[in-house]
Amino acid sequence: MAKPLVVITGASSGIGAAIARQFSGAGHPLLLLARRVDRIEALDLPDTLCRPVDVTDAQAFREALREAEAVYGPADLLVNNAGVMLLGQLDTQAPEEWKQMFDVNVLGLLNGIQAVLANMVARGRGTILNISSIAGKKSFPNHAAYVGTKFAVSAITENLREEVADSSVRVMAIHPGAVETELLSHTTSQEIIAGYEEWKTTMGGVLAADDIARAAFFMYQQPQNVNIRDITIAATRQQA
């Protein structure tokens, strides 16, 4: 392939699907991972391998990666996008929701990093782009457990960046504000969903997934010796 392999998790909708379209349009072969394989297959992108992988399954992740690299060569970019946002108050939220968020948002991210990192370090190039959140930098009402996962993502990103910098491997993060995706629909409290939707309305609308995809592509496009460590991107009228 003329351009190297890009691996994207949580690619079935929203930001992941938008990033997939952006990089496919630029000529990159893709490995797309998501639990809903029919959704990633429906994107109908050329030179793309679609696999129904849950990021909490490290072995399945590695097997899909080996399969894609056998066809397209080594992964040059991993976009850790898979995530779950289950908003709730800590005194009433089900602990199972905390576990689900930490399993997917943090442990799943670590699984992806470990799958590609050794090969990137050995080759002396590669990029890991973690999709965090503005909630990885500040608190929000009803977000305590979710904020904890995203602070973890941001901290892991920065710590790993320092560890592998001498290997010329880039580690970077995007911290989106509110984006129009399916993420909110995972929340079980209708009251919290209604309040969130009202908040979005007060700012005259929020970002589109394509806004994040363009930022991701811009970061990756820079020469390997240039690492845009962190972009925080939000609607202009989003104050928090």
Instruction: Name the residue among 115, 97, 106 with its Cα closest to residue 33.
Output: 115
Indicate the pLDDT class of residue 1, thresholds 50, 70 and 90: low
What values do phi and psi take at 79, rounded to 5? -105, 105
Report in angstroms the alpha-carbon separations of 156 from 68, 71, 116, 130, 134: 26, 30, 15, 9, 15
Q: What tokens does 97 get?
A: 């929701």
Q: How confident is the model at residue 216, as a pLDDT?
A: 98
Task: Verify whether residue 146 is a known catalytic residue.
Answer: yes
pLDDT in tens, 108-141: 999 999 999 999 999 999 999 999 999 999 998 8
Q: Choose, from 72, 146, 196, 220, the residue flagged as catalytic.
A: 146
Instruction: Summarize pLDDT for 179-211 with one digit per residue, the tens.
Output: 987 777 778 788 888 888 888 888 888 999 999
Q: Which residues are registered as beta bridge partners of 127?
A: 77, 170
